[in-house]
């Protein structure tokens, strides 16, 4: 080995030993871990967006408003954002940047390198259809409504947003690439049959008519799809605690709750009679009352309607006529017609969103006074606004009963339905001829009878009023009377069934009918009905 080679060899050995000693020192002082962290990436979690809930036209029912956040990576370029701020805002931002760690800032700072602007949705703002949509708990998990029924799917559709950059051992930003997640314009979710415009019209009508407690249901008569379901009082999904303490029970969905039905049920009795071959010309005497098994049942017209046929009895809502008609029919045909129209059956719209079955009086009880009560919708009989809407739709569409439907399907990207819900079964509840006769009767109720206050400005309508007695007293000591109006719109070529319930409202013709009329006018104003449409 030459002298020169020996020197080079010695230097190499010395350098190698120095490196080994340095590594040992770093390891002993945990410096190795710190050195490795100097090459790490830091990720700042910005937020997330859960799957959406859309109406039938892919209009969002949640996440309609946003809060703006700026994700800031302190760099020479991002410091330029300070020029747009003054006072305390400027001082706050400067202090955050001096830490040289990524951070979130409430508000928009501008388009600078190192700054990414995010618009994160606020789940509930000016909530619509609160009882159907439901609400989440503090952890973002659905507790009621669609939020609960589709919680797992909505979680699968959740998008999370973050930014990532290189930092040194103490978390300060190093020069280098900054990567940021870019939110999608729309996210996947659940698509409902609800039409946002119809829902707004229903809720606004209840508010404008000062209905303290009640419900509205609107369905497409040809499909059974729900276009609106409103219940009042409503609640704020952002403050459920307040609703829980409210004695008016705003969390209860009154559209899915059962109530005494009253005279709307006369349509069912008339349908049963027509199906049994009894003509509309059947004339019966109404002296203003009738005694059955020692109990006196009175007509609302105490003086009586005199000799009256079926059409006039529907138009004038004559109790005595329908009691006598039921006595001729017997209870079973009426009960069978009611069952075919959905009375006595629960209605599941989604997991946890279920309309109760109400009570359809048992056949063995339908005699004497019980049958008399049944004939005009009193006694044990109860039903939900949803059930009455489905029954009304069957009359309006020619006799076909559609099970109400709420969920149209799911969407992967928030633009179109990818997986539609299977159509529900359809049954023929009555003949088309019977339905046509009833429909004409209902138009006369609005044009000439007890439903005059339901008449819309455009297109006419058909319907039936009810003032259902309950046998219960309110705080003022008066009997609680549920006000109803069940109808279809427009009168010619009907498209929608609309049912209005006003809890303890009294007269259906005076209280519920105007709500119906206001909804029809709103629908027409939205352009859904031709302005020159006349009643048949």
CATH code, 156: 3.90.1310
Query: Which two tokens mark 319?
Result: 């109790």
For residue 378, being part of any structural domain is answered with yes
What is the reported pLDDT for 31? 46
Number of compact structural domains in the chain: 2
- The whole-angstrom separation of Cα 268 and Cα 322 is 11
If phi > 0 it is left, if psi is from -120 to 50 it is alpha, else beta; for residue 372 that is: alpha
- The whole-angstrom separation of Cα 113 and Cα 107 is 16
Same domain, 202 and 314: yes
Same domain, 202 and 72: no
For residue 8, being part of any structural domain is answered with no
What is the reported pLDDT for 13? 54
Among candidate residues 360, 359, 433, 344, the one with its CA nearest the CA of residue 395: 433
- The whole-angstrom separation of Cα 393 and Cα 372 is 26
Write the secondary structure of 116-157 as one string of H (helix), E (strand) and C (coil).
EEEEEEECCCCCCCHHHHCCECCCCCECCHHHHHCHHHHHHC
Last residue of a domain, one of 144, 173, 192: 192
For residue 15, being part of any structural domain is answered with no
Same domain, 456 and 503: yes
What is the reported pLDDT for 82? 79
For residue 293, being part of any structural domain is answered with yes
- First vs last C-alpha separation in the chain: 119
Same domain, 267 and 310: yes
Same domain, 289 and 383: yes
Domain that holds residue 214: 196-525
Last residue of a domain, one of 132, 166, 192: 192
**Entry pTM:** 0.88
For residue 39, being part of any structural domain is answered with no
Same domain, 385 and 508: yes
Same domain, 215 and 264: yes
- Give me the tens of pLDDT residue by residue for the chain, a chain 536 residues long: 555 455 435 534 544 454 445 544 444 554 444 444 445 888 899 999 999 999 999 999 999 999 999 999 888 888 888 777 888 888 888 888 888 888 999 999 888 888 899 999 999 998 899 999 999 999 999 999 999 999 999 999 999 999 988 888 777 777 767 888 888 889 999 999 999 999 999 999 999 999 999 999 999 999 999 999 999 999 999 999 999 999 999 999 999 999 999 999 999 999 999 999 999 999 999 999 999 999 999 998 899 999 999 999 999 999 999 999 999 999 999 999 999 999 999 999 999 999 999 999 988 888 999 999 999 999 999 999 999 999 999 999 999 999 999 999 999 999 999 999 998 889 999 999 999 999 999 999 999 999 999 999 999 999 999 999 999 998 889 999 999 999 999 999 999 999 999 999 999 999 999 999 999 999 999 999 875 555 44
For residue 26, being part of any structural domain is answered with no
Among candidate residues 268, 257, 480, 286, the one with its CA nearest the CA of residue 361: 268
Same domain, 291 and 323: yes
Same domain, 169 and 229: no
For residue 324, being part of any structural domain is answered with yes
Helix, coil or strand: residue 299: coil
CATH code where residue 500 lies:
3.40.710.10
* CA–CA distances in Å: residue 21 to residues 13, 29, 424: 12, 12, 78
Same domain, 443 and 385: yes
How would you label 83-111 residue by residue, b for 16+ Cβ within 10 Å and e otherwise?
A: eebeeeeeeebeebbeebbbeebeeebee
For residue 6, being part of any structural domain is answered with no
Own/partner long-range contacts of 302-308 (Cβ < 8 Å, ≥24 apart): 307/283, 308/283, 308/284
Last residue of a domain, one of 136, 158, 192: 192
Same domain, 88 and 138: yes
Same domain, 180 and 216: no
């Amino acid at each position: 080995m030459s002298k020169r080679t020996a020197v080079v060899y010695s230097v190499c050995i010395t350098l190698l030993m120095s490196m080994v000693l340095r590594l040992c020192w770093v390891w002993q002082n945990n410096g190795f871990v710190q050195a490795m962290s100097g090459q790490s990436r830091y990720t700042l979690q910005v937020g997330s967006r859960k799957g959406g809930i859309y109406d039938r036209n892919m209009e969002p029912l949640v996440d309609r408003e946003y809060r703006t956040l700026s994700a800031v990576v302190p760099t020479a370029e991002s410091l330029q954002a300070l020029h747009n701020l003054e006072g305390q805002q400027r001082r706050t931002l400067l202090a955050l940047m001096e830490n040289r760690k990524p951070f979130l800032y409430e508000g928009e700072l501008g388009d600078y390198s190192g700054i990414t602007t995010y618009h994160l949705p606020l789940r509930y703002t000016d909530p619509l259809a609160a009882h159907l949509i439901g609400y989440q708990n503090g952890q973002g998990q659905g507790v009621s409504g669609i939020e609960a029924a589709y919680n797992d799917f909505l979680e699968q559709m959740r998008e999370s947003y973050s930014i990532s950059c290189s930092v040194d051992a103490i978390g300060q930003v190093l020069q280098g690439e900054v990567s940021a997640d870019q939110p999608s314009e729309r996210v996947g979710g659940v698509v409902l049959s609800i039409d946002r415009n119809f829902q707004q019209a229903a809720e606004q009508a209840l508010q404008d008519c000062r209905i303290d407690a009640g419900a509205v249901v609107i369905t497409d008569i040809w499909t059974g799809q729900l276009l609106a379901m409103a219940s009042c009082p409503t609640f704020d999904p952002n403050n459920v605690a307040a609703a829980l303490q409210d004695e008016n029970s705003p969390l209860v969905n009154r559209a899915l709750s059962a109530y005494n039905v009253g005279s709307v049920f006369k349509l069912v009795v008339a349908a049963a009679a027509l199906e049994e071959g009894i003509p509309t010309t059947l004339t019966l005497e109404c002296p203003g009352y009738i005694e059955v098994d020692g109990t006196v049942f009175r007509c609302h017209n105490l003086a009586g309607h005199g000799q009256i046929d079926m059409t006039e009895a529907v138009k004038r809502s004559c109790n005595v006529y329908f009691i006598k008609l039921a006595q001729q029919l017997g209870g079973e045909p009426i009960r069978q017609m009611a069952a075919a129209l959905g009375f006595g059956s629960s209605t599941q719209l989604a997991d946890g969103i279920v309309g109760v079955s109400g009570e359809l009086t048992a056949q063995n009880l339908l005699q004497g006074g019980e049958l008399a009560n049944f004939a005009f919708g009193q006694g044990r009989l109860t039903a939900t606004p949803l059930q009455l809407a489905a029954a009304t739709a069957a009359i309006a569409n020619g006799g076909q009963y559609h099970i109400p439907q709420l969920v149209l399907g799911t969407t992967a990207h928030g633009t179109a339905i990818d997986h539609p819900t299977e159509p529900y079964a359809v049954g023929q509840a009555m003949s088309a001829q019977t339905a046509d006769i009833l429909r004409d009767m209902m138009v006369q109720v609005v044009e000439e009878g007890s439903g005059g206050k339901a008449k819309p400005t455009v297109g006419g309508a058909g319907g039936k009023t009810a003032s259902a007695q309950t046998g219960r007293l309110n705080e003022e000591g008066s009997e609680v009377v549920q006000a109803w109006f069940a109808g279809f719109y427009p009168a010619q070529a009907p498209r929608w069934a609309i049912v209005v319930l006003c809890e303890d409202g009294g007269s259906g013709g005076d209280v519920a009918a105007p709500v119906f009329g206001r909804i029809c006018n709103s629908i027409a104003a939205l352009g859904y009905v031709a302005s020159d449409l006349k009643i048949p």
